[in-house]
Amino acid sequence: MKLHLIIGVAVFLLAQAVGVPAPAAEQPQPWMNASLTPDQRADLVIAQLALDEKIQLVHGIGWGPLRPGEPVPPDNNGGAGQILGIARLGIPSVQQADSAVGVRSGAEQSRYATLLPSVLGAASSWDLAAAHLYGDVLGRELRAQGYNQSIGGGVNLARDPRNGRLFEYAGEDPLLAGTMVGHVIRGVQDNHIMSDIKHYALNDQETGRAVVDVQISHKGARESDLLAFELGIRIGQPASVMCSYNKVLGSWACENEWLLNHVLKDAWKFPGFVVSDWDGTHSTDKAVMAGLDVQMPGEEFLGEPLKQAVSAGRIPMRRLDDMVHRVLRSMFSAGVVDHPPTPRRVVDPFKGLEDAQHIAEESIVLLKNDGILPLNVAAVRVIAVIGAHADVGILSGGGSAQVDAPGGNAIDLTRPTQWGKPVYFPSAPLRYIREHARGAQVHFDSGSDPAAAASLAKAADIAIVFADQYMSEAGDAPTLSLPGRQNELIAAVAAANSRTVVVLITGNPVTMPWIDQVAGVMEAWYPGVGGGQAIANLLFGTIVPSGKLPITFAKSEADLPHRQIFGAAPRAAKDDSGGNWLEDNQKRQRFPADYNEGARFGYKWFDSEEKQPLFPFGYGLSYTTFTYSDMHVDPKARTATFTIANSGPRSATEIAQLYVALPSRSGERFRRLAGWQRVVLDAGEHKTVAVTMEPLALAVFDEKKDAWEWLHGRYKVFVGGSSRSLPLQAEVTLY
Ligand code: BGC
């Protein structure tokens, strides 16, 4: 493979050097006419391509900078992937960067990238403008760094709350997740950067991700994970879809006829290209004929073997042309040919920080408040800040989503970013708490010894305990518990001081055995580079919390559809966070994951099983109170109109949610989120709000007809501030 690459690069360089074809500018290049459609332009290019050039456009150049020692071509930009362009025709290389929560691999290139809050955090804002801004930060920083494709866009649903990559995804509901990620994609592509959506599909756990065979009904898949993709693709129109590592119903996702050709390309009419996850390709003929368009990162299957298959007539030339067409039309459509990225600039770290902090401030969810928050600066003399390295920084998520911290890992500036090792960003909550509480003494304790932390807390008016959980690609959490001794720490501090507030910096939901002993709890997720500032602003009330949970918090694993992650085989604890997590372990035996819950997970599971969650989906407190009244549902327009009043003391934002229960013959015993609206209200103000229901959130997937269907009958409509607090109810006949 390396030899192939070296030859490929040599041929490429030779072609440039010898200048076989005339310089681009001297030839008429009709495909550069921006008034033609992307499809017309792609076809004009294809007519000029030799077979080798077509093949060159459907695979990557190897692991390159991701694996030390791998050869990299001279124009490589340092990202996770590159497809060599056709310079003689003015077609640039595709330069792909992982950019789930910020642009990856900055440190190696001495480049700065903004760390945004986790995607799960951003989803807690339910704010389409924040989602667009999220994509905008990614898009403009990719541009400034010379990339032209983002390979973020994770939208796998939180089927299992222990999934190690949940921080890269947008929660458990297909409408919320698909909509938020769709708007992130728009934000990226508005910068003339191609975007991606991943990991297609049902890559809902990391444990055994390269060997697990997901069993699920078509109905269950279409109404859950695939619905999130369907909406995300419809809204965002990404350039590519990344197929995942796992099998689905016996066939690898990257050679799965049903997923790729049937659903994605035929049913959804996706015009872009399907790119394999890195080393997720398993064949040539089968994969290509099932709908795979681009192999990443190398060429073992879609390089020479594809050329042979086409030459031998096993794969028709028109299929290869279709693959190339999909790549080129996506490039033209996003504008990467007409508006190539402009490197040799630096990203704007100030704008990045401002945007990241704004999104974080909308993301943080206030889970419990017995009146202690917002903290009253005037009344506090001594504050104890405890745990999670809050004196130096804030945790980020790992794996291919890892962004490098400016100045180095805040807990060890000498250590470069290393796969599987937690990285802290230098946004120390302690510093910003001190800035707010200027008149108070603020002391810090590391929390490593619960007894010592408790004695500091005892002598303080208020204790703020930070607790964190490191999560990363390639592993899942074995349980929902906070790792290490953090539960013990919180219990000890709370026993010493009843005025204890817990701030969680976690990738995933966690259990809270100490919930009744503490006075307040905030879920800050991984809040990004402005996390310390955002947390302090919410604690002290400069900002009123507005985030709502995009995922259910369970009281215990026993309440989940599956008590354990499939294939779970805990390994010894050896990471720095004190957690022990499960590894993907690619070499192990294949095993099935029977997702017999179908689409009934998260709040749909808890509601239909009548289980009480710790905190329900859609839940989050404010420093004010809202009252709902006067609902009217227009069945023709499928719109509910109602009034919300801010009945409390502060201007604030409420996320009003609309849920629907389908007619009884659907057999469903749960409600579905069908729409929402963020409403900004001054103290005492009220507004009339209209929420329109998303048709696909009202549909059932009919397996026999292989199509969406709408049931005629009585629908129950519910509106309120969380999936379990729905004061307004009505019944209407729809369809
Ligand atoms: C991950 C993808 C990522 C790719 C390139 C894979 O292991 O699953 O999400 O984009 O690596 O880094």
Ligand 1 centroid to 684 CA: how many Å?
A: 49
Per-position b or e across 37-47, b if 16+ CB within 10 A of its CB: ebeebbbbbbe
pLDDT at 535 > cutoff 50: yes
Q: Quick one: 515 and 652 in the same domain?
A: no
Using alpha carbons only, how large is the chain's radius of gyration in Å? 26
Q: Quick one: 161 and 112 in the same domain?
A: yes
Which residue lies with its CA nearest to atom 2 of ligand 1?
Answer: 277
**What single string gives the DSSP state of each residue in 343-387?**
-SS---HHHHHHHHHHHHHHH-EEEEESS--S--GGG-SEEEEES
Cα first-last separation, the chain:
57
Q: Quick one: 312 and 370 in the same domain?
A: no
Cα gap 252→280, rounded to integer Å: 8
Q: Quick one: 211 and 122 in the same domain?
A: yes
Which residue lies with its CA nearest to atom 7 of ligand 1?
Answer: 278
Q: Quick one: 325 and 368 in the same domain?
A: no
Percentage of the chain surpassing pLDDT 70? 94
Pocket probe for ligand 1: among 163, 203, 278, 296, the residue whose CB has the most ligand atoms within 8 Å is 278
Q: Quick one: 529 and 426 in the same domain?
A: yes
Percentage of the chain surpassing pLDDT 90? 90
In a domain, 18, yes or no: no
Ligand 1 centroid to 275 CA: how many Å?
A: 11
| Cross-strand pairs, 387 | none
Q: How many CB atoms lie within 10 A of CB 190?
A: 16
| Cross-strand pairs, 242 | 275
Which residue lies with its CA nearest to atom 3 of ligand 1?
Answer: 400
| CA atoms 539, 545, 550, 551: torsion sign | positive
The H or E element containing residue 583 is strand 582-583
Q: Quick one: 378 and 279 in the same domain?
A: no
In a domain, 352, yes or no: no
Q: Of the candidates 724, 694, 703, which has an alpha carbon nearest to the alpha carbon of residue 174?
A: 694
The H or E element containing residue 435 is helix 429-436
The full length of the chain comes to: 735
Ligand 1 centroid to 473 CA: how many Å?
A: 9
Residue range of the domain that includes 211: 38-334
Contact 624, 682 (CB under 8 A): no
Q: Quick one: 234 and 380 in the same domain?
A: no
DSSP letter at 417? P
Ligand 1 first shell, C-beta below 6 A: 80, 98, 151, 198, 277-278, 400, 473
The H or E element containing residue 441 is strand 441-445
In a domain, 105, yes or no: yes
Q: Of the candidates 495, 482, 502, which has an alpha carbon nearest to the alpha carbon of residue 451?
A: 495
Which tokens in the block code for residue 71? Answer: 């050869």
With helix as H, strand as E and coil as C, how does 575-620 read?
CCCCCCCEECCCCCCCEEEECCCCCCCCHHHHHHCCCCCCECCCCC
pLDDT digit string, tens, across residues 277-327? 999 999 999 999 999 999 999 999 999 999 999 999 999 999 999 999 999
Q: What is the CATH number of the domain that holds 397?
A: 3.40.50.1700
Cα gap 391→576, rounded to integer Å: 17
**What single string gives the DSSP state of each residue in 47-75?**
TT--HHHHHHTTB---SGGGSTT----TT
Ligand 1 centroid to 186 CA: how many Å?
A: 21
Which tokens in the block code for residue 133? Answer: 């801004």
Ligand 1 centroid to 363 CA: how many Å?
A: 25
Cα gap 24→48, rounded to integer Å: 13
Edge to edge, the sheet with strand 686-692 lists 626-634, 639-646, 686-692
Ligand 1 centroid to 245 CA: how many Å?
A: 10
Atom of ligand 1 nearest to the CA of 104: 12
Quote the longest CA-to-CA distance of the chain.
Answer: 81
User: Which amino acid, one-letter code, is at 47?
Assistant: A
Which residue lies with its CA nearest to atom 8 of ligand 1?
Answer: 277
Per-position b or e across 577-594, b if 16+ CB within 10 A of its CB: bbbbbbbbbeeeeeeebe
Pocket probe for ligand 1: among 400, 402, 476, 585, the residue whose CB has the most ligand atoms within 8 Å is 400
Q: What is the CATH number of the domain that holds 155?
A: 3.20.20.300
Which residue lies with its CA nearest to atom 11 of ligand 1?
Answer: 278
Assign 68 a pLDDT band (cuts: 50, 70, 90): confident
Contact 111, 163 (CB under 8 A): no
Predicted local confidence at residue 581, as pLDDT: 52
In a domain, 609, yes or no: no
Which residue lies with its CA nearest to atom 4 of ligand 1?
Answer: 278
Predicted local confidence at residue 584, as pLDDT: 59
Assign 479 a pLDDT band (cuts: 50, 70, 90): very high
Ligand 1 centroid to 400 CA: how many Å?
A: 6
In a domain, 339, yes or no: no
pLDDT at 580 > cutoff 50: no
Ligand 1 centroid to 24 CA: how many Å?
A: 34
Ligand 1 centroid to 63 CA: how many Å?
A: 11
Predicted local confidence at residue 570, as pLDDT: 52
Ligand 1 centroid to 110 CA: how many Å?
A: 22
Atom of ligand 1 nearest to the CA of 244: 8
Atom of ligand 1 nearest to the CA of 151: 10
Cα gap 549→535, rounded to integer Å: 17
In a domain, 526, yes or no: yes
Q: What is the count of structural domains for the chain?
A: 3
In a domain, 651, yes or no: yes
Q: Quick one: 320 and 216 in the same domain?
A: yes
Backbone angles phi, psi at 444, to 5 degrees: -120, 140
pLDDT digit string, tens, across residues 644-690? 999 999 999 999 999 999 999 999 999 999 999 999 999 999 999 99
Atom of ligand 1 nearest to the CA of 400: 12
pLDDT digit string, tens, across residues 242-266? 999 999 999 999 999 999 999 999 9
pLDDT digit string, tens, across residues 188-210? 999 999 999 999 999 999 999 99
Q: Quick one: 540 and 624 in the same domain?
A: no
Atom of ligand 1 nearest to the CA of 168: 9
Q: Quick one: 462 and 377 in the same domain?
A: yes
Q: Quick one: 328 and 386 in the same domain?
A: no
Atom of ligand 1 nearest to the CA of 81: 5
Pocket probe for ligand 1: among 199, 243, 244, 473, the residue whose CB has the most ligand atoms within 8 Å is 473
Ligand 1 centroid to 244 CA: how many Å?
A: 9
Ligand 1 centroid to 151 CA: how many Å?
A: 8
Q: What is the CATH number of the domain that holds 639?
A: 2.60.40.10
pLDDT digit string, tens, across residues 162-184? 999 999 999 999 999 999 999 99
| Cross-strand pairs, 464 | 385, 501
Ligand 1 centroid to 419 CA: how many Å?
A: 13
pLDDT digit string, tens, across residues 358-402? 999 999 999 999 999 999 999 999 999 999 999 999 999 999 999
DSSP letter at 401? G
Q: HSE (CB half, 13 Å, CA atoms) of 721?
A: 20
**What single string gives the DSSP state of each residue in 245-291?**
SSEETTEEGGG-TIIIIIIIIIIS---SEEEE-TT----SHHHHHHT
In a domain, 470, yes or no: yes
Ligand 1 centroid to 695 CA: how many Å?
A: 33
Atom of ligand 1 nearest to the CA of 199: 9
Domain boundary among 531, 551, 571: 551
Cα gap 354→594, rounded to integer Å: 44
Pocket probe for ligand 1: among 101, 151, 279, the residue whose CB has the most ligand atoms within 8 Å is 151
Contact 545, 625 (CB under 8 A): no
Contact 604, 670 (CB under 8 A): yes
Cα gap 566→596, rounded to integer Å: 12
Which residue lies with its CA nearest to atom 6 of ligand 1?
Answer: 278
**Are β-strands 462-469 and 500-506 bridged in parallel, bridged antiparallel, or unpaired?**
parallel
